[in-house]
Amino acid sequence: MTNNTPINSLGIAKAPKDTRVVVAMSGGVDSSVAAALLHEEGYDVVGVTLQLYDYGAAVAKSKTCCAGQDIYDARRVAEERGFPHYVLNYESKFRESVVDDFADSYMRGETPIPCVQCNQSVKFRDLLKVAHDLGADCMATGHYIQRKETGDKGYPELHRAVDPFKDQSYFLFATTQEQLDFLRFPLGGWTKDITRGHADRLGLLNADKPDSQDICFVPGGDYASVVKKIRPEAENPGDIVDQNGTVLGRHKGIIHYTIGQRRGIGIGGGVSENNAPFFVIGVDAARNEVIVGPKEALARDVIFVKNCNWLMPELTEGINIDLKFRSMMKPVKATLKTGADNTAQILLADPQYGIAPGQAAVAYLGERVIGGGWITGTDNTASAAA
Amino acid sequence: MLNTIYLDYNATAPMRPDVQDLMTPLLGQPLNASSVHAYGREGKRLIDTARRQVAALTGADANNVIFNSGATEGGNTVLKHFSAQKVAVSAMDHPSVRQARQDAILLPVTPGGEIDLNTAEALIKDHKPALVSCQAVNSETGIIQPIAKLSQIARANGAYFHSDAVQAAGRIPLNMMELGLDFLTLSAHKIGGPQGVGALVLGLCGETPTLLDGGGQEKKARAGTENVAGIAGFGLAAELALADLSAATLDARQALRDDMEAQIQAIIPNVNIYGRDQDARRVYNTSFFSVPGASSQTLLMAFDLEGICVSNGSACSSGTVQPSATLKAMGASDEDAMAALRVSIGWNTTQADIDAFLEALKKITARL
């Protein structure tokens, strides 16, 4: 390569045909479009699909072999477009890094988000290493998120997707700076309509495939049965108590409860004696108790997080941020105080409700994602009732 | 077709041109060997010729060759024939044998990659199986198994003996009588014949295991209209494989492999080359080694992107990679079993192919 070679669309000073890009293909329309477009641009595209779990076992059909429809779809797209495609068997890695942890998290009374662990471990750690070993110049995915080279800083930033309905930044907060250097997200600047338009134009066989809604290894959303398979004790019944410890009823396993939940608690009427609705305000895994109370008891203005990842070397103490502690919420104002051992405290400008341990707290500066951490606990400085 | 270098003969060998020339016109003809008419008689003649050719490769009587769809069918036919009785199989045998009888007693393997004869003898004495099965050559390591000794043990304990000789045919002499085999199974495509054809060859015992009932083809031992073109191709491939056993051919190919292994060692000084490092008897064509710290999955993809077809020895039908079953049976670490690579050469392999492989190996290992 000479120094005169222009920077290509992936930000690399090579001709597209000399630029190897591994594309993580799920079999869905987004990553298929990402791969097909890069191939159309002339890149040396290598499609890779991860086999993460035994599809046959997940949908309880024995004797179906290994690969599900998604793997088949990814392979068909690669065949039709004419680039190589491989399937990596990551079943054991996925079980160790994601599924077991998912179950354990529920057993701790938390509400896990396995998609973040998956991005963090099998996709951006293990698959990324494979891409390196294949001599790739970068790895692309079909995620809706933007990687921005903002010029003089010398490192790329992570920004929310242009399409707010598709934005996956919450699930990608754990992306490290080193990973981000190597990653590319060709769809982040688009709305889903544009992606679908390209899928139609390219005639991709999965152009009309609906977006997946479920956690991939929990078909139909029945996570309780998945957890039960791994941790049979997950459905041990126990007491439902109020804040004073008074037993109000029985629950059928703590996995069925998450903080902030109102429906399906399973105590008569779901309301207290003064007719206020009950909410799950805590899950005490050690005592196998579900604690309920009025909405006010959910109010919190401090969030404690661990295993933080920051995408901002010049992070300053007490920085004002916009915070999300659930994927679908509107960000709220907060102040960030980083602590020792990758922990942090987040002080919320106004008390918030239904903050569940196990979820992620993700920090933004406007459109930019500066990282986040895993929620370990909460506090309410404004009220002694907590 | 594809611009690739093929070094995966143990998975399937490219068809020999002579076989292709023989089969191509036959594929267009209505050759039902059961018919009385001219085409029927021609079909019968082709099958009988092939029967003699396969018999010659295995030192058997031509009457004892039963054509079928391949060694998976052959293994299932034999193993299931004894379904009411105990059977013992090598822990390294092909899945078509091990899976055919999941209740089989597993005969363990030494760290050197051979069946452990002492333990096998004790297990056979203890359990008195009706059938013992052990492959003649391991598909992953190429290590030649002591089947003559094991068949003696089996016979002394009243058991029949089956050997999957798929990886042995054309690589070592196979004489059913000398080896003491009751059943031997083959696949045509491993020796340059077509896929979907094979044979069950009967030896000493007089039993005729049968899986499929129907028309009376193959003397009622294997129902279904014969794949005449395929069987004819198999016969010719067997004849050519037998000719390959000449000392000069074997020596030349073994030199190619041994020289390659010396070069692999030079590129990866801490490589484990299975069989070679244990001084085991191996067939000339197979080289099986682990690249410390690497992953088979990634290596196979990387070689494929360089246009070189190799294997790790145990790919699943979906194309994903499993840890080597043989290495696990040999007691290798999970890490080694996940880092294995198999190069298997054959009738059309040239020094230039090996050189290209070594060049790619250098390039790929440099970036690990």
Nearest CA in chain A to B366: A133
Question: Pseudo-torsion of CA B77, B82, B84, B87, nearest 10°?
Answer: -120
Residue among B297, B316, B367 minimizing CB distance to A88 = B297
| CB atoms A51 and B320 under 8 Å | yes
For chain A positions 35-54, those within 8 Å of chain B (CB to CB) are 46, 48, 51
Residue among A46, A67, A87 minimizing CB distance to B305 = A46
| CB atoms B298 and A135 under 8 Å | no
Give the span between the Cα atoms of A67 and A88, in whole angstroms: 11
Convert the pLDDT of each residue in B52-62 to its tens digit.
999 999 999 99
Convert the pLDDT of each residue in B69-94 to its tens digit.
999 999 999 999 999 999 999 999 99
Residue A342 to residues A304, A306, A373, Cα–Cα distance (Å): 11, 6, 8
Convert the pLDDT of each residue in A283-318 to its tens digit.
999 999 999 999 999 999 999 999 999 999 888 889
| pLDDT more than 90, % of chain A | 62
Tell the CATH topology of B17-243: Aspartate Aminotransferase; domain 2 (3.40.640)
pLDDT at A57: 58
Question: In B262-288, which positions are buried (b, 16+ CB within 10 angstroms) versus exposed (e)?
Answer: ebbeeebeebbbbbbebebebbbbbbb
Give the span between the Cα atoms of A293 and A287, in whole angstroms: 17
Is the CB of residue A134 less than 8 Å away from at least one CB of chain B? Answer: yes
pLDDT at A68: 80
Give the span between the Cα atoms of A217 and A69, in whole angstroms: 13
Give the span between the Cα atoms of A102 and A106, in whole angstroms: 7
pLDDT at B325: 79
- What is the Cβ-side half-sphere exposure of residue A228, based on CA atoms within 13 angstroms? 12
Structural domains in chain A, CATH included, are 16-221 (3.40.50.620), 236-297 (2.30.30.280), 299-379 (2.40.30.10)
pLDDT confidence of A216, banded at 50, 70, 90? confident
pLDDT above 70: residue A56 = no
What values do phi and psi take at B54, rounded to 5?
A: -70, -35
pLDDT above 90: residue B165 = yes
Helix (H) or strand (E) holding A372: strand A368-379
| CB atoms B368 and A133 under 8 Å | yes
| CB atoms B320 and A67 under 8 Å | yes
Residue among A46, A89, A133 minimizing CB distance to B367 = A133
Contact partners, residue B101, CB within 8 Å, separation at least 6? B79, B80, B82, B83, B87, B89
pLDDT at B316: 55
| pLDDT more than 70, % of chain B | 98
CATH 3.40.640.10 positions along chain B are 17-243
Convert the pLDDT of each residue in B201-246 to its tens digit.
999 788 999 999 899 899 999 999 999 999 999 999 999 999 999 8
Convert the pLDDT of each residue in A228-240 to its tens digit.
888 888 889 999 9
Convert the pLDDT of each residue in A26-45 to its tens digit.
999 999 999 999 999 999 99
Residue A132: list chain B partners with CB under 8 A: 367
Closest chain A C-alpha to B12 CA, distance in angstroms: 20
Nearest CA in chain B to A85: B301
CATH 3.90.1150.10 positions along chain B are 5-14+247-366
Give the span between the Cα atoms of B235 and A272, in whole angstroms: 85
pLDDT at A58: 54
Please tell me the least confidently modeled range out of A66-80, A265-279, B72-86: A265-279
| Pairwise pLDDT comparison (B335 vs B155), residue with the higher score | B155
Closest chain A C-alpha to B48 CA, distance in angstroms: 38
pLDDT at A344: 96
What is the mean predicted confidence (pLDDT) over A313-324? 91
Query: In a 3-state reduction of DSSP, which class is residue A342?
Result: helix
Best of B2, B311, B318 to substitute, by most chain A Cβ atoms within 10 angstroms, is B318
Residue B322: list chain A partners with CB under 8 A: 89
What values do phi and psi take at A40, rounded to 5?
A: -65, -35
pLDDT at A61: 43
pLDDT confidence of A109, banded at 50, 70, 90? confident
pLDDT at A183: 97
Please tell me the least confidently modeled range out of A81-95, B53-67, B175-189: A81-95
Convert the pLDDT of each residue in B29-47 to its tens digit.
999 999 999 999 999 999 9
Convert the pLDDT of each residue in A112-158 to its tens digit.
899 898 988 899 999 999 999 999 999 999 999 999 987 677 889 99
Whether domain B5-14+247-366 has CATH 3.40.50.1110: no
ipTM rounded to 2 decimals = 0.86
Residue among A65, A86, A89 minimizing CB distance to B301 = A86
Contact partners, residue A130, CB within 8 Å, separation at least 6? A22, A48, A88, B295, B297, B298, B301
Helices of type H across chain A: 29-40, 55-58, 69-81, 91-94, 100-107, 114-118, 128-133, 177-182, 192-202, 223-230
**Predicted TM-score of the model (pTM):** 0.89
Is the CB of residue A315 less than 8 Å away from at least one CB of chain B? Answer: no
